[in-house]
Amino acid sequence: MATTNGTLSVVRTRTGRRCSHVETIDLDSKEESSVLVIYSGGTIGMVINEGGALVPASNALGRHIRRCPFLHDVEYAKKRFGDKCETSAFVLPDTKRARRRVLYTLLEYEPLLDSSNMTSDEWIAIAEDIKKWYKSFDGFVILHGTDTLAYSASALSFMLENLGKSVVLTGSQLSLFEPRSDAKDNFLESLVIAGNYVIPEVTICFGRKLYRGNRTTKMDTEGFSAFDSPNALPLATFGIQIEVNYRELFRPIVIEKFRVHSKLNSNVALLRLFPSITLQTVSAFLRPPIQGIVLQSYGSGNVPSNRVDILEMIEAAIDEGLIVLNCSQCIRGSVSNAYETGKVLCDIGVTSGADMTPEAALTKLSYVLTKDEWSVEKKREMLERNLRGELTVTSPTPSMSEAVRMVSFSAKHNLELDPYTAANVLFPALLGSAVLDDNPNRIEQLLSSGADLSQPNVDQRTPLHIACCEGKTSLVEFMLQKGASVHTKDRYDHTPLNEAVQHDHHEIIKLLVNCGAHLMIPPKVLGEKLCKAAIRGDVTKLKSYKIAGANLNQCDQSGRTPLHVAMLHGHKECALYLLGEGCRMDAEDMMGLTPRDYAAKAGSIGMVTLLETKNTLHHVKVL
């Protein structure tokens, strides 16, 4: 591993990682957030060589960022990190309009790859790194070349299962080293999104818009607005204000932890129909080892119905277990069975790809084929199901104007509000009121009208924060199954899990942890909180932290563990609980004192005896 100017490099080979390390960021302010930037390669970080060609250069991007005032605030870094500011995390300047200042670490791959050289091996490597550092950062940005950006975003969207944090891919048409480049805005806006918003999807940030990754395709080789999402609205637009379209966000609706599915099937292919295509061409695509085909048909899913030879060959391959997924060659629109030439594919067992992009269809097929626990019929069913927002669900959604009218009526106000004001003010307020009233039916009605459970109110608190604070266990479970985010932080830096821990709602803590929630508290700060609980002899609070995943051996700034403090203050029940949870009796603080020393100095013979008894029992158990 090489470390230069704050750039942490990970050396990779085609068979996997040789070493891996990232320095995490301990946040000391509720106005900060942490982002891991994974630099895989691409134009955005390339330099011009002596021959005038763009080439990747190791550690060049990190050195350049430190000289860019719009990407790194030197003065804040000096104040924040002191003498280590030259090798510390990068700091995004205060944008005034973002709630949190973003601190970010750059993880640079070696070798850096042009996006045309990306393979499924690189997708798996990126997914595994997100998994490794998932609990250590608030969000993730992936710097990537543009040519296969849509493929990578689509693949990652399926591989990152039950995703609860923002993963933003971006690149640029011109290098960041160029004076006139789109790289600055794309990178900066990606960092702001990843550090300030919980958008639990794999997205692409490009050309002042944020798109769902698996809905996006590259439309232009030269323009700065190179990407578009033909069949889905942008998730956010960047103007003077960042306007997030919360109604369009796709969220996990299961109570399960984040996980990575790190297998992809490479035996898939794209077959684009064209007039006078030969039987031999089709046959070449249907032969082993190919297990899945994305068939790009005409218009709304049509094929030449008079080519019986081709249809019979496809049907025979399907009968033998091959999966054929039908998508349109058109940029916009969906396949359907409206025409006889389209219905014939359905009749022979071809699976409908609805309005998926070719990139999404191919990577989804690659993902589904590795689900060994599914039968072939189940795999075909899942291909037609909306897994990550990659295809349009046919059920109608109320328009924003209808939602505004309903909200205005519900609030008994006749307000002339623009849609974004209504969504940002009225929906969160009404959802919060419904939570306090423990009224899931009213929440359901608001959701059907366009409300979003993860949209915060003016204090940045979501309905889930409120339910966790109030101890409404059944309502918490209901909202988690509706896609409520467990990672959103309020203005006091509290997640819903913090609220549940603070109020000792153990069943709710278990629910949140099962849904992927985790404590994001710096170790020493966590140690302080644990010691404060031990000072009070508050076993219930210690149990809350334990259920939430805290290490009860964590020490505070003075090296004291909760067991030190419990022994000092003579809290027998608390000490017994900590000992029962495996807390170390030999842990030493900064003065070299153990919990027994604390009990002895406090003159508590009973606590010393307690420790000696526990120590004796431990030795007997070991023997």
Please identify every residue annotated as catalytic.
Answer: 43
Q: Are residues 143 and 44 in contact, defined by beta-carbon separation less than 8 angstroms?
A: yes
SS3 325: strand
Q: How far apart are CA 593 and CA 615, in angstroms?
A: 17
Instruction: Give the Å distances, CA to CA, from 207 to 178, 189, 202.
Output: 17, 10, 17
Report which of 135, 261, 157 is spatially closest to residue 204, judged by C-alpha positions.
157
Secondary structure (3-state) at 518: coil
Got the DSSP string for 150-214?
HHHHHHHHHHEET--SEEEEE--SS-TTSSS-SHHHHHHHHHHHHHH----SEEEEETTEEEEGG
Task: Please calculate the CA angle 120-126-132 and round it to the nearest 5 degrees.
Answer: 135
- 599 residue type, one letter: A
Distance CA 306, CA 602 (A): 94
Query: How many CA atoms, within 13 angstroms, populate the side-chain half-sphere of residue 135?
Result: 16
Is there a contact between 212 and 232 (Cβ–Cβ < 8 Å)?
Answer: yes
Q: What is the DSSP letter of 483?
A: T
| Amino acid in the structure at residue 377 | E
Q: At what angle do helices 523-536 and 539-547 cross, to 10 degrees?
A: 150
Which residues have C-beta within 8 Å of that of residue 583, sequence separation ≥ 6?
Answer: 552, 553, 561, 562, 563
Rg, the chain, Cα only: 27
39: left (phi over 0), alpha (psi -120 to 50) or beta: beta
Task: Specify whether the backbone of 528 is left (phi greater than 0), alpha (psi in -120 to 50) or beta.
Answer: alpha
CA end-to-end distance (rounded Å), the chain: 43
CA distance 299 to 278: 20
Q: Is 153 exposed, middle or buried (0-12, 13-18, 19+ CB in 10 A)?
A: buried
Q: Token pair for residue 483?
A: 């896609």
Quick one: CA torsion of 365, 371, 375, 379, rounded to 10 degrees?
A: -30
Decide: 17 and 110 in contact? Cβ < 8 Å: no
Decide if 159 contacts 151 (C-beta within 8 A). no
> What's the rounded Cα separation, in Å, for the pair 319 and 323?
9
